[in-house]
Amino acid sequence: MNDKTNGNHIWLIILALCLTAAGGYALGRNSVPDTSTAQQQLAELNRASMERLIVEEGPIYVIGHCSPDSDTVCSAIAYARLLKLLGFDARPAVSGAINRETAYILQQAGVQIPEELIDASGLNIFLVDHSEYSQAVEGMADAHIVGILDHHGIGTVSTGHQVVYEARPIGATATIIWLDYLNYGLDIDQQTAHLLLGAVLSDTGYLTGGTTTQADRQAVKNLAELAEVSDVDAFYQKLHEESLSYEGMTAMEIIFSDYKEYEAGGFRFGIGLANSINEDKSRQLSSLLAADMEEAFASRNVDYMYASIGIRENGEKIDYIICANELSREVFTSAFPNYDEFDGTAYIFRNGGLGRKTRFVPVFTDYLNAHPHE
Ligand SMILES: [Mn+2]
């Protein structure tokens, strides 16, 4: 190799290093690279598409579902910040007390618990993580819905006027928000990154859940950098421990800590989720919950009610399903005749379990629609 070629090589290497550094910096900062006018133009067009958001007098409240989980709460805060960056008067809100896991994420991120909204009537509302009146705060039917951001099936909420409606079949609403920041060319601050990271980890079970996509994996990588969380494993471990801690909670509080209601075929049904570390603990928890299921059922206006206890052992998902009463049991076993075991209290689903979003609700909804209310 002569000197000239060698010199060229060095310059090429220096150029490549500069480009890599610039690209890395731009990605790390989550901003649109200066070199890409096409991307800048796209970001401007995306921002422009939000200009005519139809807002009535007063602020926009960004709010998730009742029995709020980490995805719902963190998404509300992160999306309210995005709307503010776009020039709107937006405020995050919650519908009910937050759980331990969410409290831990907020505390780590250094963010306050959003204000609690009791009644949505007459307010501008941007819904995140749900589109179902039965899961929404009181008065939603009389609210002015300005937008919906979700990763579930299309619910009952409807409007006559134009809205922002963005739904994607991915692991977390927080991942959609991460994508929106990218698409609008907006920077994600460290606090927001911390919130979104916690939410994606929580909703995807650290990227192991059935709804996880490449977008969720990339979001976790990027958000961990922006949040300066160097040990994601340890952060998730702590979240998981908090989510498993039912210390000092009554059976009723556990049943309703992550509880959602649905409508299908003229019926209403509710499913509460709980977590456990192994099958022994699941059996203990299922007898504790079973004792109060009738009372839980009586406290809500539903036709059927269930509690589901999930375990993730060596990457395998197992679910224990408890029926509130005889009628709930009859319909359940007709819709799901292929359970692996019934231990006298719970129907056990091994080999992937019976995920609420991925299997339980879609299959049960189809069943009820095929056997509607007389
Ligand atoms: Mn979610």
pLDDT tens per residue across all 374 residues of the chain: 344 444 555 555 554 444 444 444 444 455 555 557 999 999 999 999 999 999 999 999 999 999 999 999 999 999 999 999 999 999 999 999 999 999 999 999 999 999 999 999 999 999 999 999 999 999 999 999 999 999 999 999 999 999 999 999 999 999 999 999 999 999 999 999 999 999 999 999 999 988 999 999 999 999 999 999 999 999 999 999 898 888 888 999 999 989 999 999 999 999 999 999 889 999 999 999 999 999 999 999 999 999 999 998 777 889 999 999 999 999 999 999 999 999 999 999 998 899 999 999 999 999 999 998 76
The alpha carbon of 131 and the centre of ligand 1 are apart by a number of angstroms equal to: 11
- Check if the beta carbon of residue 312 is closer than 8 Å to that of residue 208: yes
The alpha carbon of 232 and the centre of ligand 1 are apart by a number of angstroms equal to: 20
d(CA 110, CA 189): 12
The alpha carbon of 6 and the centre of ligand 1 are apart by a number of angstroms equal to: 55
The alpha carbon of 12 and the centre of ligand 1 are apart by a number of angstroms equal to: 46
The alpha carbon of 5 and the centre of ligand 1 are apart by a number of angstroms equal to: 56
The alpha carbon of 173 and the centre of ligand 1 are apart by a number of angstroms equal to: 5
Bridge partner list, 272: 259, 307
Residue whose tokens read 């606090």: 191
- Check if the beta carbon of residue 308 is closer than 8 Å to that of residue 321: yes
The alpha carbon of 258 and the centre of ligand 1 are apart by a number of angstroms equal to: 11
Residue whose tokens read 């299922």: 286
Give which of 357, 310, 361, 315 is closest to 336, Cα–Cα.
361
The alpha carbon of 127 and the centre of ligand 1 are apart by a number of angstroms equal to: 12
Instruction: Write down all domains in the chain, each with its CATH number in brackets.
Output: 48-240 (3.90.1640.10), 251-370 (3.10.310.20)
d(CA 74, CA 80): 10
Environment class of 135 (CB within 10 Å of its CB; exposed 0-12, middle 13-18, buried 19+): buried
Give which of 127, 120, 129, 174 is closest to 147, Cα–Cα.
127
The alpha carbon of 65 and the centre of ligand 1 are apart by a number of angstroms equal to: 9
The alpha carbon of 150 and the centre of ligand 1 are apart by a number of angstroms equal to: 7
The alpha carbon of 200 and the centre of ligand 1 are apart by a number of angstroms equal to: 8
Task: Please give the pLDDT value at position 177.
Answer: 98
347 is written with which tokens? 């129907």
Bridge partner list, 319: 310, 349
Alpha-carbon 331 to chain mean position: 28
What does each C-alpha distance from 139 to 120, 125, 133 come to in angstroms?
A: 5, 11, 9
Radius of gyration of the chain (CA): 23
Cα atoms in the Cβ-side hemisphere of radius 13 Å centred on 13 = 6
d(CA 246, CA 15): 56
Task: Please give the pLDDT value at position 114.
Answer: 98
pTM for this model (two decimals): 0.77
What residue type is assigned to position 210 of the chain? G
The alpha carbon of 149 and the centre of ligand 1 are apart by a number of angstroms equal to: 10
The alpha carbon of 174 and the centre of ligand 1 are apart by a number of angstroms equal to: 8
The alpha carbon of 164 and the centre of ligand 1 are apart by a number of angstroms equal to: 18
Task: Please give the pLDDT value at position 23.
Answer: 45
3-state secondary structure the chain: CCHHHHHHHHHHHHHHHHHHHHHHHHHHHCCCCCCCHHHHHHHHHHHHCCCCCCCCCCCEEEECCCCCCHHHHHHHHHHHHHHHHCCCCEEEEECCCCCHHHHHHHHHHCCCCCEECCCCCCCEEEEECCCCHHHCCCCHHHCEEEEEEECCCCCCCCCCCCCEEEECCCCCHHHHHHHHHHHCCCCCCHHHHHHHHHHHHHHHCCCCCCCCCHHHHHHHHHHHHHHCCCCHHHHHHHHHHHHHCCCCCCHHHHHCCCEEEEEECCEEEEEEEEEECCHHHHHHHHHHHHCCHHHHHHCCCCCEEEEEEEEEECCEEEEEEEECCHHHHHHHHHHCCCCCEECCCCEEECCCCCCHHHHHHHHHHHHHHHCCCC
The alpha carbon of 72 and the centre of ligand 1 are apart by a number of angstroms equal to: 6
Task: Please give the pLDDT value at position 4.
Answer: 45
The alpha carbon of 63 and the centre of ligand 1 are apart by a number of angstroms equal to: 12
CB atoms within 10 A of CB 244: 16
The alpha carbon of 2 and the centre of ligand 1 are apart by a number of angstroms equal to: 60
The alpha carbon of 198 and the centre of ligand 1 are apart by a number of angstroms equal to: 12
CB atoms within 10 A of CB 118: 12
